[in-house]
Amino acid sequence: MSRKISVPSRSKTTLDFVEEDLVVGRRAVIEGTGTPPAVKVSGTVYCEGDNTFECSLSAESMEAEDNVTIHGDLIIEKDVEVEDGRLEVYGKMTARRVGVDSVLYVTKDLAAHKVDVCGGLKVDGNVRVEDIDVCGSFKAKGEVEAEKIDVGGSVSIESKVDIANLEVGGAAKVGGGKIREVEVGGSFESKGSLEFEQIDVGGVVRLSNKNKGGSIEVGGSFKVEGDLEFKDIDVGGKVEITGSAEGNEIEVGGKVEVGKSLRLSETLEVGGKVEVDEEVSARNIEVGGVLRSRKATAEGRVEVGGAIITVEGVTAHFVEIGRRGKVQGPIKADQVIIGRDAHAGDIYGKKILLRRGTRAENVYGENIIIDSHCHISGEVQYTGEIRMSEHVSLAKPPQKVNKLPF
C-alpha cells in the first residue's frame, strides 16, 4: 500500500488500492486485482493521456488529458474531467459531475448530477442525470430520466423518458414517456405514448399511440399515429391525427385531417381544408377552404369560404358559406347566410339570407330573404316573413306555415 503512486508512461502496472492520488503516465495500462478485477483510489486519478484500465476503477475524482478507456465500471465520488479527448466506459458509470471535451461512451448505466460533453454522448444503458449539456449528439438505448437536456445537434433515445425540459437544436427522437417542455429547432418524434405540457418545434412533429398534453406550436407539420388530448394547437402547415382528438382550440395555416372525431371546447380556425371522418364539434369553426366531415356541430358560428361537405349536416347558431361556395348536406342554424353564386342543399333556420345567384334545394325558415337571380329547386316554407328580389326562380310558390319541419 502506498500513499501516492505514479505509473510510468508506456508501462503496464497491476494495482489494488491507492490510499491517496494516482498519476498515470501517457499510454500506460493499468490492471486490477480480484474477480472481476478492480482498482480503488482514495484520492484523485490523474491520466496524462491515451490510458487504458483493464479493470473497474473507483476514486474520489478523475482528471485526464486525451483519451481514457475503462474496461469495467467507473465509480467516481465527485468529478470527472477529460480535456482534449474521449472517455469510454465498458461498464456502468457514476459521478457527481462529468466534463468531456470530445465523446463520452458508456455501455451500461450512467448516473450523475451534471454531464457536459462538447462532442457526443452515447449510453447503451439507462441514464439518470439531472442536467445534460451536449454540443453534438446524444444517443441512449435505455430509459432516460433528467431535469434538463440541452443538445445542440440531435437526440435519439430508444426507450421511455422522464424529462422536465428538452431543448435540441436539430432533431430529437424518444421512445415515449413524459416530457414537460419540448423545444426543438428541427424535428421531434415519439415512438410511444407521450405526456407533455408544451411542445415548441420549428419543423415537424410525429407522435404515436395515445398522447396527452398541453400546448403545441409547430412551424411545419404535426402528425399523430393514434389519439391526442391537448390544450391548444398552433401549426403553420398541416395537422394529421389518425385517431380521435380532443382539446381546447386549433389554429392551422394549411390543412387538418382527423381519422375519427375532433372535439374542441373553443375555436377551430384553419386557413385551408378540414377533413374529419366522424364528427367535428367546437364552439366556433372557421375554415378558409373546405370543411368535410360526417357531421359538424358548433355552439356559435360556422364560417367556411369554400365548401361544407357533410352526410348528416352542419348544426350551429350561425352558418355562413362564402361566395361561390358549395354545401353538401343540410344546414340547421338560427341564422344562415349563403354567399353570392353559392350552391346549397336543404336549409333550416330562423333567419336565412340567400345572396345574389344562390342555388338551393329546400329552404325552411322563420324569416327569409332571397336576393335576385337565386334558384330554389325544391320548396320554400316560412312562419314569419319572406322578402324576395326580382328574377328569383322558384320550383314552387313560397308557403307560409304554422310549423316548420324541424
Only one residue has cell 385517431, namely 243
Q: Which residues contact 268 (CB under 8 A, 6 or more apart)?
A: 249, 250, 256, 262, 274, 280, 282, 284, 285, 286, 287
Q: Which residues contact 403 (CB under 8 A, 6 or more apart)?
A: 383
Q: What is the DSSP letter of 48?
A: -
Checking if the pLDDT of 91 tops 50, the result is: yes
pLDDT of residue 386: 97
Question: What average pLDDT does this structure show over 30-37?
Answer: 96
**Rounded CA gap, 200 and 172, in Å?**
12
Checking if the pLDDT of 226 tops 60, the result is: yes
Enter the C-alpha cell of residue 357. 345567384
* Residues 391/395/401/406 CA torsion (nearest 10 deg): -110
Question: What average pLDDT does this structure show over 65-87?
Answer: 97
**Rounded CA gap, 116 and 257, in Å?**
42
pLDDT of residue 364: 98
Enter the C-alpha cell of residue 397. 310558390
Cβ atoms of 38 and 54 closer than 8 Å: no
pLDDT of residue 3: 67
Cβ atoms of 30 and 39 closer than 8 Å: yes
Rounded to the nearest integer, the mean pLDDT of the chain is 97
Longest dimension (CA), the chain: 113
pLDDT of residue 287: 98
In DSSP terms, 267 is beta-bridged to: 284
% of the chain exceeding 90 in pLDDT = 98
pLDDT of residue 2: 46
Return contacts of 28-31, CB within 8 angstroms, 24+ apart: 29/53, 29/54, 30/54, 30/55, 30/57, 31/55
Question: What average pLDDT does this structure show over 262-282?
Answer: 98
% of the chain exceeding 70 in pLDDT = 99
Checking if the pLDDT of 245 tops 90, the result is: yes
pLDDT of residue 406: 77
**Rounded CA gap, 98 and 112, in Å?**
7
What value does the CA radius of gyration of the chain take, rounded to a whole number of Å?
Answer: 33
Checking if the pLDDT of 11 tops 60, the result is: yes
Checking if the pLDDT of 279 tops 70, the result is: yes
* Structure confidence at residue 181 as a pLDDT band (50, 70, 90): very high
Cβ atoms of 57 and 69 closer than 8 Å: no
* Structure confidence at residue 405 as a pLDDT band (50, 70, 90): confident
**Rounded CA gap, 57 and 39, in Å?**
5
Checking if the pLDDT of 1 tops 50, the result is: no
In Å, how far are 200, 272, 300, 350 from 252, measured between CA atoms?
A: 15, 8, 19, 32
> Beta strand pairing status for 44-47 and 171-174?
unpaired
**Rounded CA gap, 183 and 189, in Å?**
12
| Domain parsing of the chain, residue ranges | 1-101
Checking if the pLDDT of 104 tops 50, the result is: yes
Return contacts of 257-261, CB within 8 angstroms, 24+ apart: 260/227
Question: What average pLDDT does this structure show over 47-69?
Answer: 97
* Structure confidence at residue 4 as a pLDDT band (50, 70, 90): confident
In the chain the first and final C-alpha atoms are separated, in Å, by 98
